[in-house]
Chain A
């Protein structure tokens, strides 16, 4: 049974810092991995999607990497801003359904 873990559970950093969020999963037989952002009281917004054959994806200040063999993914946020404050969720897809991690709650201080 696939399990997805995210570390740390919460993170508080000053504005401008580069930071890394971690996601690990127990079953390497995945179809793809997605990183989502969730603002308080809102739904989830897809940030980056990495197919199982890919090693990384980039969008603006965000970069996500995938190492299937070790069961790990990282989300790198460059030059963090207060607007980046949110919960970030990692989700791993097997056949058709995603298994979500519990998220990292990020706060970027101005």
Chain B
């Protein structure tokens, strides 16, 4: 198994641009999580999907952030418009039952 796949691995963009992060979970996993990691705030849960349905999006910082999971094998996290304070590493993780498997992350820099 290839594990959780995220793309792109690195993204540099200018303030105001739209950013789309992509995630392919492990086949058979029914839960998917998007996290953001920064030095200041550590690892924070943004949104959680179960069976493709968003269950908890209370961690999404503001309306500029949106996430979708159109099917069991794909999810996106979109930031529109992006701001410098969105610069962070964004992780996608999937799980079946308890153990979460993390992707390698997308390192986002908004100038």
Kindly report which residue of chain B lies nearest to residue A102, judged by CB atoms. Answer: B42
Q: A89-B43, A96-B31, A97-B33 are in contact. Are A43 and B103 (CB under 8 A)?
A: yes
Within 8 A of B (CB), among A24-64: 31-32, 34, 36, 41-46, 49, 51
Q: Chain A contacts of B101 at CB under 8 A?
A: 46
Kindly report which residue of chain B lies nearest to residue A93, judged by CB atoms. Answer: B98
Kindly report which residue of chain B lies nearest to residue A45, judged by CB atoms. Answer: B102
* A88-110 Cβ-contact flags toward B at 8 Å (1 or 0): 01000100111011110000000
- In the complex the two chains form, is B33's CB within 8 Å of A42's CB? no
* CA–CA, A43 and B37, complex, Å: 10
- In the complex the two chains form, is A100's CB within 8 Å of B56's CB? no
The number of residues on chain A lying at the interface, defined by a beta carbon within 8 Å of a beta carbon of chain B, is: 21
Contact of A44 among B45, B91, B107 (CB under 8 A): B91
Summarize B's interface: helix, strand, loop or mixed.
strand
- In the complex the two chains form, is A103's CB within 8 Å of B42's CB? yes
* CA–CA, A51 and B97, complex, Å: 12
- In the complex the two chains form, is A100's CB within 8 Å of B42's CB? yes
* CA–CA, A32 and B99, complex, Å: 10
In the complex, B73 has a CB within 8 A of chain A = no
Within 8 A of A (CB), among B26-65: 31, 33, 42-43, 45, 48, 50, 55-56
Measured CB to CB, the residues of A under 8 A from B are: 31-32, 34, 36, 41-46, 49, 51, 89, 93, 96-98, 100-103
Measured CB to CB, the residues of B under 8 A from A are: 4, 31, 33, 42-43, 45, 48, 50, 55-56, 91, 93, 98-105, 107
Ranked nearest first, the 6 interchain pairs of A and B with the lowest CB-CB distance are A43-B102, A100-B43, A44-B102, A102-B42, A43-B104, A97-B45
